[in-house]
Amino acid sequence: MSMKLFVGSLGYDVRNSDLEEAFAQFGTVLSANVIMDRDTGRSKGFGFVEMSSQNEGLAAIDGMNGQAIAGRTVAVNEARPKEDNRRSFSGGGGGGGRGRR
């Protein structure tokens, strides 16, 4: 089973190929994606790397966390599942309004 890693504190000039190259020493990199800002096209300073197995992912965390990529020390850990940020507007609400005097 593959393992997805979060890579934080990336320099703004780091690209997908840089991540892939840095993590390949720990095993097969299935994907490497630097997250880019839609409006500016500039890196948001973090990305995700998917390793082909959990053992390779753990080795990559141990080997890369605290190491430099393109001159910046990065933080690497297991990616957490994306949270559902949708808000439900159905159901009862709170009262609001003015208090009585």
Walk along the chain (101 residues) in steps of 10 and give the mean pLDDT of each run: 98 96 98 97 96 98 97 97 68 54 55
Under 8 Å CB-to-CB from 60, ≥6 apart: which residues? Answer: 5, 23, 26, 27, 49, 51, 76
Give the pLDDT of residue 100.
57
Domains defined for the chain, CATH in brackets: 3-78 (3.30.70.330)
Give the pLDDT of residue 30.
98
